[in-house]
Amino acid sequence: MNQEIKNIAVVGAGTMGNGIAHVAALFNGPVSLVDVNQSQLDCARETIIKNLDRQVKKEIIQTDDKEKTLKNLKFTTSLDDSLSSADLVIEAATEDLATKEKIFVELDKHSAQHTILATNTSSISITQLATVTQRPSQVIGMHFMNPVPVMKLVEIINGYATDSEVTKTIQILSEKLQKVPLVVNDYPGFVSNRILMPMINEAIYTLFEGVSGVREIDQIMQLGMAHPMGPLKLADFIGLDVCLSILKVLHDGCGNPKYAPCPLLVNMVAAQKLGVKSGGGFYDYKEGSKSETVSQQFA
């Protein structure tokens, strides 16, 4: 019998964490958003309110929905306080294996026996994370897409030991959150990034080798292939450091040279040109992400 998910804890109040907390509180019920940094929690609360206001303005939700969502949300720095009543914990911390392993040890220690442990990782092995817990059959991947309140996909990743009933429970929950759950198996990059990252990497190589410019590459993919956003601009939105990290996982995990990160990407990350979050990558972002010009480096 599938488990009912009533209470959810989201660990990590960054861009993905606050988005996941937003939709979970809107469509499901009580949510604790946990972060060690109080200022990050304050920022997350402001972001959620702003995004709820945008949904009300667009008539996607009603004012009552916004108020209900905010009542369902609890912002806290206390992990113990949040995990004891959670049926599901979703980890949304930095995309780093060592960091996530430390978090999963703590989640396993403080959560109830029935609690499902999920990670929002975009590339790290679910099977590997499960090995640091005493409940590998209850560990699963829930890879939401950014921005979470808008994007419909949840890539559900089965680890080697994930129980089929756990998978079904997470599928049902994802549908309740107004998402489309698609199940994949735990191999490097899963499906989304195994296909997306080589395309982004090839676009960077195309720029690196002087085949064409930033805007030309992006517009060719937009106008010719019907992509809503060009691959270089998309890389800026994802974060060039995140792109590099995922390519390294693909390269190391598959052992195939086709996944080797472009030297230009490596250099840009070393120079802290990370995209939107640093104010510049392939584009410069002066007035926020909707107002960009091609970086002077590539102009």
> Active-site residue numbers?
122, 143, 155, 193
Q: 202: Cβ–Cβ under 8 A, 6 or more apart, which residues?
A: none
For residue 154, what are the β-bridge partners? Answer: 144, 181
279, 285 in Cβ contact below 8 A? yes
CA dihedral 33, 34, 37, 39 (to 10 degrees): 10
The distance from CA 47 to its chain's CA centroid, rounded to whole angstroms, is 16
DSSP string, 150-171: T--EEEEEE-TT--HHHHHHHH
Strands 283-285, 292-294: pairing kind: antiparallel
Q: Report the sign of the C-alpha dihedral through residues 73, 77, 81, 87, in that order.
A: positive
Would you say 293 and 284 are in contact if contact means Cβ atoms under 8 Å apart? yes
Q: How many CB atoms lie within 10 A of CB 252?
A: 10
My answer on whether omega of the bond before 263 falls inside 30° of 0, hence cis, is: no
| Cβ within 8 Å of residue 167, ≥6 positions away | 140, 156, 158, 183
User: SS3 for 60?
Assistant: coil
User: Terminus-to-terminus CA distance in the chain, angstroms?
Assistant: 59
Nearest to 276 by CA among 264, 266, 290, 265: 290
